A and B are shown apart, each in its own frame.
Chain A
């Protein structure tokens, strides 16, 4: 045999081997799936953060020990391709039994492919027997009561997901570096103390010649601090603008007030907020607005920054990557007792209304829905969620789970107040805000310059936002008519349940908010001589 023939044979053999191995794997899976004595449940998610996979692996091990005839497979899908992968799997009929929901998905798709869980979540979770949660409906065992998205779908008036974690945002800091710079000084509890700390970092860097920045920022991290400042310092302004007596100013009402001229960028609240945002922004690295999440993380774990803002979802990754001791504390906001801010701020922002996430939905195509649901009950039992939290270092979603030490700083702050005005409205508002944030934060930027540009450009963006949201309401209204007809007829049928009647009542109530808001927006636009049409 000559050399070429040998090489060709090797090449062909490699290809043939790979093909045969792949074919065997597929057939093996099919055989497993066809084995009546063996149940295989697959669940998929996009949480590639450190610790999550290990936490689920441990839960799988524990579950399989209890249920030897069941095998559970975890599928990790990168976030970037998750939405596309999900649709392909659902449409192709090859979706796993449980899928993490929470990426944008139309109500139609949700209803077509996922199983509503109203009945199930109103039953007790048997895996909570022997605990304080025994006998409670499954939904009431969650910190958020399954009240919000993605667990509850207000369009479909049903539950479609069961969550495994809560999420909050804090300032991570380098403990070793903190001790060197600030010694025994207590952690900053107010905004002014935070700025003082930042000044200490600059002084230390100058003294030692080290390249250090107080806060590692990026287009991902920086808004966590900046927008919180804005929302806090506009709390009183929001209450004053609200005409609905419910202590909340929804974003569409806030920005309608803006279009009507009831507030603008010269408002004292806004000026103070912009000044604070600029002040804190100057303590982040130069050009941070163009940097990505990983860039800020890189600065921080390299020890070039004392602090960085991020969510509790990053606890595991932070601890895994940082070669130094880290901890976290709430992002300090201006104090209501400070005469500089008392006219603008009510107090710390409340996290009581936060919704749990990392929720899993049951796919209608599942061949083993009962077993899949049972696994879901297991991982969201108090014991299961404790295991999950201990290993993943994520905030638990279930009541009564003891927080691991590292997670305690991320616990929900419930003694707080509602937020102020949202800093932008709609996709175009967000684009304009982001595009011109540099005029506030740049070296030669200023709150005045930012205010001038926003005054010029934001109204057009807000009008676009109202056009889009108006079109969305009309779509929902139209859909609601068919829904109303079907619910009334279903309430008539022999198989009608109390649930159908509850849904009917909820639909009629929800329509009040939709219809009145839509008509209000129309009438306000008409009064202002603006059009909602293109």
Chain B
């Protein structure tokens, strides 16, 4: 994993730790105090905004305040890490936090960020987070395929595997939900490099999905390889016995090379 994702030194680890542990009020108080001590501390300003999104009780006032803080970060410097981060979260606020949400505008913002800062973590995250909104919803199948194709190309250029992987998983999910051809779903799962999926449930699912998709598309060696991976790694999964039976019934005994 690339170190220094945000390319910035972090001074308020304990504030961020509070937020990580869902103690949003504590985190907000911490960053508020830090900002009071140093008004040029962009990290503290950023921290306040991030905490405010979930300080309880959740009110419109808090969300608007968070928006204002993010806008002030952009105003002072739109190009540094905090400026980019603020653009990302401002779009997220419009997408999911503000009432009413403004999804079209939020998606436009995210795509603009992805285009303007493709190498930065925030640009890459913007693409990842815009992807589901470009794929789901009422649209023609043609439009959906176009979106998949476009995201596939852009996804291949992502430099951070921890962002690239979930993007391809998203593309695969869309294929499943909208019943698109199995070859396409299979290609996305292979591009996701599922061996490195951290969540074991998702990795188990991915192995079984690849095995079944490969079976359907006639690639029995690939099917066997991934069913075997699942069988070896997940003895405590309720599908273990089923997959064992499938392996027994699969003709031939080839596997793909690692």
Against B, the Cβ 8 Å flags (1 = close, 0 = not) of A340-353 are 00000010001111
Bound Cα distance A353, B121 (Å): 37
A244 touching B1 by the CB < 8 A rule?
no
Task: Report chain B residues within 8 Å CB of A350.
Answer: 238-242
Task: Report chain A residues within 8 Å CB of B121.
Answer: 488
A516 touching B174 by the CB < 8 A rule?
yes
B238 touching A478 by the CB < 8 A rule?
no
Q: Which of A147, A509, A515 contacts B198 (CB 8 A)?
A: A509
Against B, the Cβ 8 Å flags (1 = close, 0 = not) of A473-515 are 0100111011111111111111100000111111011111101
Against B, the Cβ 8 Å flags (1 = close, 0 = not) of A398-427 are 000000000000000011111100000000
Task: Report chain B residues within 8 Å CB of A24.
Answer: none
Task: Report chain A residues within 8 Å CB of B256.
Answer: none
Task: Report chain B residues within 8 Å CB of A504.
Answer: 162
Contact of B20 with A by CB under 8 A: yes
Contact of B212 with A by CB under 8 A: yes
Contact of B169 with A by CB under 8 A: yes
Cβ distance A75 to chain B, nearest Cβ, rounded Å: 27
Given A481-B96, A493-B16, A511 and B166 contact (CB-CB distance below 8 Å): yes
Against B, the Cβ 8 Å flags (1 = close, 0 = not) of A508-534 are 111111011001101100110000000
Q: Which of B13, B169, B240 contacts A352 (CB 8 A)?
A: B240
Of A76-84, A107-115, A128-136, A265-273, which stretch is located at the interface?
Answer: A107-115
B5 touching A491 by the CB < 8 A rule?
yes
Bound Cα distance A272, B105 (Å): 51
Against B, the Cβ 8 Å flags (1 = close, 0 = not) of A348-381 are 0011110000000000000000000000000000
Cβ distance A421 to chain B, nearest Cβ, rounded Å: 15
Q: Across the interface, name the chain A residue whose C-beta is closest to B81.
A: A492
Task: Report chain B residues within 8 Å CB of A416.
Answer: 238, 241
Contact of A259 with B by CB under 8 A: no
B6 touching A489 by the CB < 8 A rule?
yes
Given A478-B96, A522-B136, A523-B138, A509 and B239 contact (CB-CB distance below 8 Å): no
Against A, the Cβ 8 Å flags (1 = close, 0 = not) of B199-214 are 1111001001100110
Contact of A468 with B by CB under 8 A: no
Cβ distance B45 to chain A, nearest Cβ, rounded Å: 12
Of A31-39, A245-253, A303-311, A448-456, which stretch is located at the interface?
Answer: A245-253
Against A, the Cβ 8 Å flags (1 = close, 0 = not) of B9-51 are 1101100110111111001000000000000000100110011
Bound Cα distance A512, B174 (Å): 10
Task: Report chain B residues within 8 Å CB of A441.
Answer: none
Of B71-79, B146-154, B175-183, which stretch is located at the interface?
Answer: B175-183
Bound Cα distance A226, B89 (Å): 49
Q: Which of A243, A244, A485, A506 contacts B19 (CB 8 A)?
A: A485
B19 touching A483 by the CB < 8 A rule?
yes
Q: Which of B96, B176, B198 contacts A244 (CB 8 A)?
A: B176
Q: Of A248, A488, A512, which is in contact with the most chain B CB atoms at under 10 Å from its CB?
A: A512
A352 touching B236 by the CB < 8 A rule?
yes
Q: Which of A156, A477, A485, A513 contacts B50 (CB 8 A)?
A: A485
Bound Cα distance A186, B165 (Å): 54
Cβ distance A120 to chain B, nearest Cβ, rounded Å: 17
Contact of A145 with B by CB under 8 A: yes
Against B, the Cβ 8 Å flags (1 = close, 0 = not) of A432-476 are 000000000000000000000000000000000000000000100
Within 96-139 of B, Cβ neighbours of A (below 8 Å) are at: 96-97, 121, 125, 128-129, 132-133, 136-138
Contact of B185 with A by CB under 8 A: yes
Bound Cα distance A509, B58 (Å): 26
Task: Report chain B residues within 8 Å CB of A503.
Answer: 20
Contact of B222 with A by CB under 8 A: no
Cβ distance B132 to chain A, nearest Cβ, rounded Å: 5
A415 touching B209 by the CB < 8 A rule?
no
Task: Report chain A residues within 8 Å CB of B13.
Answer: 489-490, 493-495
Bound Cα distance A351, B241 (Å): 11
Bound Cα distance A49, B118 (Å): 60
Task: Report chain B residues within 8 Å CB of A111.
Answer: 21-23
Task: Report chain A residues within 8 Å CB of B209.
Answer: 244-246
B185 touching A245 by the CB < 8 A rule?
yes
Cβ distance A316 to chain B, nearest Cβ, rounded Å: 26
Contact of A314 with B by CB under 8 A: no
A246 touching B212 by the CB < 8 A rule?
yes
Given A493-B10, A502-B198, A516 and B177 contact (CB-CB distance below 8 Å): yes
Contact of A143 with B by CB under 8 A: yes
Within 123-160 of A, Cβ neighbours of B (below 8 Å) are at: 143-145, 147, 156
Task: Report chain A residues within 8 Å CB of B87.
Answer: none
A246 touching B20 by the CB < 8 A rule?
no
B173 touching A512 by the CB < 8 A rule?
yes
Given A246-B208, A417-B241, A509-B202, A477 and B96 contact (CB-CB distance below 8 Å): yes
Q: Which of B3, B16, B170, B238 contacts A512 (CB 8 A)?
A: B170
Task: Report chain A residues within 8 Å CB of B23.
Answer: 108, 111-112
Contact of B221 with A by CB under 8 A: no
Bound Cα distance A525, B200 (Å): 31
Task: Report chain B residues within 8 Å CB of A248.
Answer: 205, 238-239
Q: Which of B162, B216, B240 contacts A414 (CB 8 A)?
A: B240
Task: Report chain B residues within 8 Å CB of A477.
Answer: 96
Q: Which of A112, A495, A516, A527 contacts B173 (CB 8 A)?
A: A516
B96 touching A474 by the CB < 8 A rule?
yes
Contact of B251 with A by CB under 8 A: no
Contact of B190 with A by CB under 8 A: no
Q: Across the interface, name the chain A residue whose C-beta is closest to B177.
A: A520
Given A352-B238, A352-B240, A493-B13, A486 and B97 contact (CB-CB distance below 8 Å): no
Task: Report chain A residues within 8 Å CB of B51.
Answer: 482
Task: Report chain A residues within 8 Å CB of B61.
Answer: none
Task: Report chain B residues within 8 Å CB of A352.
Answer: 235-238, 240-241
Task: Report chain B residues within 8 Å CB of A508.
Answer: 128, 162-163, 165-166
A-B pairs, 8 with minimum CB distance: A353-B238, A519-B136, A486-B19, A485-B50, A493-B13, A493-B10, A245-B212, A111-B21
A-B contact pairs, 17 of them (CB 8 A): A145-B236, A245-B185, A245-B208, A246-B209, A353-B237, A482-B24, A482-B51, A485-B16, A486-B19, A486-B50, A490-B16, A492-B4, A504-B162, A505-B1, A509-B166, A509-B202, A510-B202
B residues bordering A, Cβ < 8 Å? 1, 3-6, 8-10, 12-13, 16-17, 19-24, 27, 43, 46-47, 50-51, 53-54, 58, 85, 89, 92, 96-97, 121, 125, 128-129, 132-133, 136-138, 162-163, 165-166, 169-170, 173-174, 176-177, 179, 182, 185, 197-202, 205, 208-209, 212-213, 216, 235-243
Known: A156-B21, A247-B242, A515-B129. 16 other contacts (CB 8 A): A108-B23, A112-B21, A243-B179, A352-B237, A414-B240, A478-B96, A481-B53, A482-B50, A488-B5, A490-B16, A491-B6, A505-B165, A509-B198, A512-B173, A516-B132, A516-B174
